[in-house]
Amino acid sequence: MKKDYMTRLERWARWMLPQQEAEDVIADYWDIVGTPPRPEEELLRDLGKPRDVIKPLTQKKPYYTWLAVFAVMAACILIPAESPLPLGSWLIWNSLFSHYGFLIPGVPLSFHFMALGLILSLIWFRPRKGEPKAPLPRSIIIALGVELALMAAVWWSFYQITLYPDGIMYQPALIPQWFYSRNGLATLNGHWMSSVLEWGGAAAGAVGIVGLVKARTCDRRWRAVYFLSLSAMMLAFCVLSLFTRMDFSADPWARTLRHSIEITAIGLIGTGVALC
């Protein structure tokens, strides 16, 4: 559904202009369009397209700075999100949990992505001085609920894998055997579960980008959706990394469990801070 003229103008203003300047421009144009707003055709004829209205007001340095910050935050979630997919880079994927970063020695690269994404989102979308505390939008609550459900599903998957460590053919322990016998179903395949983790993690990455855009154009607290999506994605890929290991000794399992707990804790704490 096409948005009305002022809705589109507001989003372009908040995307291209600094926060306070954007609010001032939006207030001025609400006075221009009138209450109720003039017809869409008349506004397009007199003012031009919303993007064309805002573009001349844009200062290059602040706008390009924002684009650079956005690119880094987007890369923190898009690069890992794509890596395990069919066209992704397995070099990046194998480095997420097996290689250690140079920024924080002894810490896997996956945590570097999380740290950078959290720090930049908290700094860039920090609240303005004197900003009133508004109720949390329902759309943010729903998005956070979806990501929490994904994290719970990943933990359930990890529980299943620990019960059937061959990772090839296994039956979910919480589903009784009679269900399969009565319905003529085969046991679930490890390849099926790995595909769910791959695409589920990638979907979380896509939701994170939506949260990042909305944090700029709608409500800064969408940064919480961005970071929880980043955390849910990393958790899914952390469990998925078990499928790529040939060594099923106690150490990889313990390491994956430790990393999963750390990712979950950092994700929940960071999300809580981002909501403030």
35, pLDDT greater than 60: yes
SS3 state at 167: coil
CA distances from 201 to 94, 198, 270 (A): 15, 5, 19
182, pLDDT greater than 70: no
72, pLDDT greater than 70: yes
What pLDDT does residue 238 have? Answer: 84
Task: List pLDDT tens digits, range 226-263.
Answer: 999 999 998 988 888 777 665 555 567 788 888 899 99
What pLDDT does residue 166 have? Answer: 56
Q: Residues of the chain with pLDDT > 70: what percent?
A: 74
What pLDDT does residue 162 have? Answer: 75
Q: In angstroms, rounded to a whole number, what is the distance separating the alpha carbons of residues 121 and 221?
A: 10
Closest to 264 measured CA to CA, from 218, 233, 243, 226: 233
What pLDDT does residue 267 have? Answer: 93
61, pLDDT greater than 70: yes
Whole-number mean pLDDT of the chain?
A: 79
pLDDT-derived band of residue 181, with 50, 70 and 90 as boundaries? very low
In this predicted structure, which of 2-11, 49-58, 156-165, 243-252 has the lowest mean pLDDT? Answer: 243-252
In this predicted structure, which of 3-17, 22-36, 145-159 has the lowest mean pLDDT? Answer: 22-36
Residue type, 197: L
Q: In angstroms, rounded to a whole number, what is the distance separating the alpha carbons of residues 89 and 93?
A: 6
Residues 243 and 190 sit within 8 Å (Cβ to Cβ) = yes
Domain boundaries, the chain: 5-57, 63-126+133-274
Residue 170 pairs with which residues in a beta bridge?
188
Task: List pLDDT tens digits, range 201-235.
Answer: 888 989 999 999 999 998 899 999 999 999 999 89
Q: In angstroms, rounded to a whole number, what is the distance separating the alpha carbons of residues 164 and 62?
A: 53
